[in-house]
Structure 1
Amino acid sequence: MIWLQTKKIFIVILGAILNALAMNFFLIPANVYSSGFTGIAQLLSKVLSDYSPIHVSMGFLLLVLNIPVAILGWKKVGKSFTFYSFISVVLSSLFLTIIPVYKFSQDILLNAVFGGVIQAIGVGITLKWGASTGGVDIIAMVLSRMKDKPVGPYMFVLNAIIVMTAGYLYGWEKALYTLVVLYASTRVIDAIHTRHAKLTAMIITKNAEELKQAIHASLVRGITMLPARGAFSNEPKDMLMIVITRYELYDLEKIIKDVDPHAFTNIVQTAAVYGFFRRE
């Protein structure tokens, strides 16, 4: 357990460093904007510097924006996920402040692509280990736990505001390159983590009751239990079928490994869910 927590902290630190490097070495020097709360902090810092005598670092703004979201996540999502996510935000803010801004290339397209890819690697590995980089990810978790609400429209509106504001203030060419960042980062995150919003897990196990209780203690999801039998061994087993969001995949994998490491689990894409997608 201590080894897993140490490894998770290392992953969170690595993700925060990659995010800061992407911003300070590629996106900020090229005036190309990121997505989500990072993009909002970047844009606010730039606007305050250009249109007022106030200068506030992007790292500080990122931290301030995430504080109310972290409080919401702590109450609605869970202490572990929110704790590691907020640690990621704090470290990102710190690295954004101490790592100097340096332009490696004069080519805006190269900066947009490399910045988006490096940032996405940091976000992807953080998500894969059951944490997040804060902001929209925590909001997505809250929505998925409270109601069956897709986070896509919220992310689209948020990123559209960033793109439109950047285009209006600093030229539409910058806005188009921001779209390149969004596309590159989305593709990389999907490759590292999973592109599907909802997933169905089919778990074949001999410890169905213990596994069911462990899942219900951690995830607000219903489970369908079906009798199963091994074709080769002819042993009676049970199959647990559960639909989860992409943000709950790490927690489910950890529960299965802790309760029944010999369980056979198949994770498949879920195109749509009809009915009540949560457990009271």
Structure 2
Amino acid sequence: MFWLQTKKVMVVIFGALLNAISMNLFLIPANVYSSGFAGIAQLLSKVLTDISPFSVSMGYLLLFLNIPVAILGWKKVGKSFTVFSFMSVLLTTFFLEIIPIKELSHDILLNAVFGGVILAVGVGFTLKWGASTGGLDIVAMVLSRAKDKPVGTYMFTLNAIIILTAGILYGWEKALYTLVTLYTSTRVIDAIHTRHEKLTAIIITRNGEDLKKAIHSQLVRGITTIPAKGAYTNETKDMMMIVITRYELFDLERIIKEVDPNAFTNIIETSSVVGFFRRD
């Protein structure tokens, strides 16, 4: 599993680099705003620079905003997911500081589209490997679990606040180009990794107790255990059912391989969940 974790770290580094390239070479020079906490940090950096004699780095603001969110994610979402997500934030901050802000194109539409695509590739592969770019993703997941509403609802609401604020402060043209970036990035992310789907994992295992403890130690999820018996061998086994988000699929698969490599796992897409979607 060491090589698997190493590859995950490499993907997080690659994603953070693409995020910084998108911001410093496309979105920031064109005054087009990103989504999530990156967009909030970008907007705050510009506002503080405009109203004060000090220039405040977007990278440091992004890191500062994510510290309380990382603590919240550690308690409410899952330790592994939060650690890799905060690692992504740290690396993004680092790359934002070392990559110069440079305008590659004077066409604002090209900046909005290419910035959105490059950002989405970084975010999409980071999500696919069981992490996130932090910030808004974690906040939306916590709110979703607390209110049992789709993650996408909160993502849309919080991003709408960024767009409206940008429009009020700096003109609606910039806000409309921000919408182009958000639409482009959403389409690309969905092509790489569908972010907001829930999944049901049905696991047939001989090591039910060990697997249950391993899952609970790393994922904040409830598990239903059902006695099962092999039809051919008549061997007694445990059938475990757990509902997760696609964020957590990578970690769940890794846990199952570590505890019981011979377990049979069926992953089913879940259209909706009624009741508590968390572990109390």
Same fold, TM-score > 0.5, yes or no: yes
SS in 1 for 2:200: strand
Residues 85 and 100 (structure 1), Cα distance of their counterparts in 2 relative to 1, 3 Å cut: same
2:114 paired with 1:114: yes
Partner amino acid, structure 2, of 1:188: V
Corresponding residue of 1:137: 137
Asked if the contact 1:70–1:82 (Cα under 8 Å) also holds between the matched residues in 2, the reply is yes
Q: Structure 1 residues 255-264 or 142-151, which shifts more?
A: 142-151
2:45 paired with 1:45: yes
Question: How many Å apart are 1:154 and its aligned residue?
Answer: 2.6
Q: Normalising by structure 1, report the TM-score.
A: 0.88
Question: How many Å apart are 1:143 and its aligned residue?
Answer: 3.9
Q: Percent same amino acid among aligned pairs? A: 73
Asked if the contact 2:26–2:114 (Cα under 8 Å) also holds between the matched residues in 1, the reply is yes
Question: How many Å apart are 1:198 and its aligned residue?
Answer: 1.2
Residues 226 and 276 (structure 1), Cα distance of their counterparts in 2 relative to 1, 3 Å cut: farther
Partner amino acid, structure 2, of 1:227: A
Corresponding residue of 2:179: 179
Corresponding residue of 1:225: 226
Q: Structure 1: 5+ residue runs without aligned partners?
A: none
Structure 1: how far apart are the matches of 2:70 and 2:195? 24
Asked if the contact 2:150–2:196 (Cα under 8 Å) also holds between the matched residues in 1, the reply is no
Structure 2: how far apart are the matches of 1:122 and 1:59? 17
Asked if the contact 1:224–1:240 (Cα under 8 Å) also holds between the matched residues in 2, the reply is yes
Structure 1: how far apart are the matches of 2:123 and 2:195? 13
Question: How many Å apart are 1:222 and its aligned residue?
Answer: 2.3
Q: Normalising by structure 2, report the TM-score.
A: 0.88
Asked if the contact 2:80–2:218 (Cα under 8 Å) also holds between the matched residues in 1, the reply is no
Deviations 1:71-90 (CA, angstroms, capped at 9, x unpaired): 22233334332222222111
Asked if the contact 1:222–1:278 (Cα under 8 Å) also holds between the matched residues in 2, the reply is no
Question: How many Å apart are 1:43 and its aligned residue?
Answer: 0.8
Q: Structure 2: 5+ residue runs without aligned partners?
A: none
Asked if the contact 1:113–1:181 (Cα under 8 Å) also holds between the matched residues in 2, the reply is yes
Asked if the contact 1:144–1:245 (Cα under 8 Å) also holds between the matched residues in 2, the reply is no
Asked if the contact 1:227–1:238 (Cα under 8 Å) also holds between the matched residues in 2, the reply is yes
Asked if the contact 2:143–2:154 (Cα under 8 Å) also holds between the matched residues in 1, the reply is no
Structure 2: how far apart are the matches of 1:53 and 1:183? 35
* Map 1:207-218 → 2, pairs under 5 A: 207-218=207-218
Corresponding residue of 2:70: 70
Asked if the contact 2:19–2:119 (Cα under 8 Å) also holds between the matched residues in 1, the reply is yes
Partner amino acid, structure 2, of 1:34: S
Question: How many Å apart are 1:149 and its aligned residue?
Answer: 4.4
Question: How many Å apart are 1:30 and its aligned residue?
Answer: 1.3
Residues 194 and 228 (structure 1), Cα distance of their counterparts in 2 relative to 1, 3 Å cut: farther
2:280 paired with 1:277: no
Asked if the contact 1:41–1:58 (Cα under 8 Å) also holds between the matched residues in 2, the reply is yes
Residues 234 and 122 (structure 1), Cα distance of their counterparts in 2 relative to 1, 3 Å cut: same
* Map 1:157-176 → 2, pairs under 5 A: 157-176=157-176
Question: How many Å apart are 1:136 and its aligned residue?
Answer: 1.2
SS in 1 for 2:173: helix
Residues 45 and 173 (structure 1), Cα distance of their counterparts in 2 relative to 1, 3 Å cut: same
The two structures, once aligned, show a CA RMSD in angstroms of 2.3
Residues 160 and 145 (structure 1), Cα distance of their counterparts in 2 relative to 1, 3 Å cut: closer
Partner amino acid, structure 2, of 1:275: G
